[in-house]
Chains A and B, each alone.
Chain A
Amino acid sequence: MTAYLKLDHIDKSFARGGQVSEVLKDIRLTIDKGEFVSIIGHSGCGKSTLLNLIAGLTKVSAGAVLLEDKEVDSPGPERAVVFQNHSLLPWLTVYENINLAVSKVFGGTKSRAERHDWIMRNLDLVQMAHAKDKRPAEISGGMKQRVGIARALAMEPKILLLDEPFGALDALTRAHLQDAVMDIHSRLGSTTIMITHDVDEAVLLSDRIVMMTNGPAATIGEVLAVPLARPRRRVELSSDRTFLRCREAVLKFLYERHRFVEAAE
């Protein structure tokens, strides 16, 4: 079987004022359908750049991103992104924000009533149907992020890309949203790639954790499989031996073998 998503020897460098800085070097990774993969690494290691490459928002310098054996080099709704700061359009209501995506993606294939049902279904999925007529400024940060997830899901993406989706949230809200994401993943089986710098979050949510070395020219240092059964419950896992072992492995990678040295920047 060929891989669902394949990152094939990707290099990425930015040229700035005659200086070329190499950000990513020789990234090789395959992801199966339905898999939940986290990418973890210290800040500045290029993990967001990697996500942007998969999203097609930035172009690779060498190598290729292959989705179902087809090269992708431009952004599209089949690779929906949930941005760290939600990126909802503040002049539209929650409903209209999702409608913008749905009418663009399904404008030709679904009728008006079907699109409405589809929007409401996705809002229900993130438990935000009650706020459909609110503007982003009127809802909390966690709720905005839920709507951001609903908007991405409403595009019916082949791959859901989460760019540090909970980074700006407080710990409790973050836990709620992690549960929501786990629930959605188990219900829809969506292939998901999540950027994070939170070790617990990575272990809790992922099937595999991709650990990045430090830049410049960062690459994949290690890939850790998380053999925990689903559904996972955070309270039980907090003393689970497999959970702790995985957590320790990631911590060791990040803080012993690839300790972040600020002076290297």
Chain B
Amino acid sequence: MSIQAIEDTKVKAFPAPAEPSKVIAFATKARRRFDPLAIVNKLASTLLPPAVVIVLMLVVWQVACSSPTSSLPPPSQVWNEAYDLIAHPFFDNGPQDIGLAWRVLISLQRVAIGFGLAAIVGVALGALVGQSVWAMRGLDPVFQILRTVPPLAWLPLSLAAFRDSSPSAIFVIFITSIWPVIINTAVGVRNIPEDYRNVSRILRLNQIEFFVKIMVPAAAPYIFTGLRIGIGLSWLAIVAAEMLTGGVGIGFFIWDAWNSSRLPDIIVALAYIGVTGFCLDRLVATVGTFVTRGTTAK
């Protein structure tokens, strides 16, 4: 797919469509031919190594934890005892007894609100800090100190301020994920080439036009780096926050399972969290590549 796309642009990049050289036309044709063997090869080479590693890990884990005195359950026990959770992610048996997928979705909803706010406020503040020397001098030291505060340290304050668990959790996500967005946006804005600024000055773009048409697209690669780090942090924070604030999220589920000694459930939940975090990261990365296509190439 990507090879095809590159070939396409190469062909189009020729100034005159009149007569592309024969050799190149030939090579393109040869590479475009459908080759099932190559696809199978490619799939095998991407999927096989992680599969082997996972199987090996499961075997080691099984061997290490299979003695009756072992404090942690082996994979076979996890499979047997938590089978309902693994096989039926979407069951719904009343307010506190729901499938893990629902719990993940509820946590994701919180992340969406908290991280969404962080993205909007972060880009705006980052633009301000990157654009104005005085804003940078004033705000940057404050940001640098605040960003090192661990997510959970914000929780008591936030509980005191909002007096409710749900907004507190959202605030913790917000305050955890906003710093990389601010800092990366600021760096991106500071790195906008002087030429782009000159173009906008000659065109007499006003502040808003400059922000929308030059600043955001020019800084987009940096902004998305910040967003990607931010969403990773926010997913870290949600689980921690939910453990303390309660509710029905995936974090609280782990805390609840620990209190009732359901270790297999915790392990299944960990797998859900890991996969979800991975998907979130990939989602932002994919949106980033899509949005910033062409911006990094000179």
Which residues of A approach B to under 8 Å, CB–CB? 55-57, 74-77, 79-81, 83, 85, 87, 89-91, 100-101, 104-105, 130-131, 134-135, 137-140, 143, 155
Which residues of B approach A to under 8 Å, CB–CB? 9, 12-13, 15, 17, 193, 195-196, 198-199, 201-205, 209, 213-214, 217-218, 220, 292, 294-298
Residues B202 and A80 in contact, CB atoms below 8 Å apart: yes
| A87 partner residues in chain B, CB cutoff 8 A | 193, 195-196, 198-199
| B297 partner residues in chain A, CB cutoff 8 A | 90, 135, 137
Residues B195 and A104 in contact, CB atoms below 8 Å apart: no
Residue on B with the closest CB to A152?
A: B202
Q: A83-B198, A89-B196, A137-B297 are in contact. Are A76 and B13 (CB under 8 A)?
A: no
Bound state CA distance, A42 and B209, in angstroms? 38
| A105 partner residues in chain B, CB cutoff 8 A | 203
Residue on B with the closest CB to A83?
A: B195
Residue on A with the closest CB to B213?
A: A100
Q: A85-B195, A134-B12 are in contact. Are A91 and B203 (CB under 8 A)?
A: no
| A56 partner residues in chain B, CB cutoff 8 A | 201
Residue on A with the closest CB to B10?
A: A138
Residues A135 and B15 in contact, CB atoms below 8 Å apart: no
Bound state CA distance, A89 and B13, in angstroms? 18
Bound state CA distance, A210 and B202, in angstroms? 25
| A140 partner residues in chain B, CB cutoff 8 A | 13, 15
* 14 extra interface residue pairs, beta carbon distance < 8 Å, beyond A89-B218, A91-B218, A100-B213: A57-B198, A74-B201, A75-B204, A87-B193, A90-B296, A90-B298, A104-B209, A131-B15, A134-B13, A135-B297, A137-B294, A139-B15, A140-B15, A143-B15
| A80 partner residues in chain B, CB cutoff 8 A | 202
| 8 tightest A-B CB contacts, nearest first | A137-B297, A87-B195, A75-B201, A91-B295, A91-B217, A75-B202, A135-B294, A104-B203
Q: A91-B295, A135-B294, A137-B294 are in contact. Are A101 and B203 (CB under 8 A)?
A: yes
Bound state CA distance, A89 and B298, in angstroms? 9
- A206 CB to closest chain B CB, in angstroms? 23
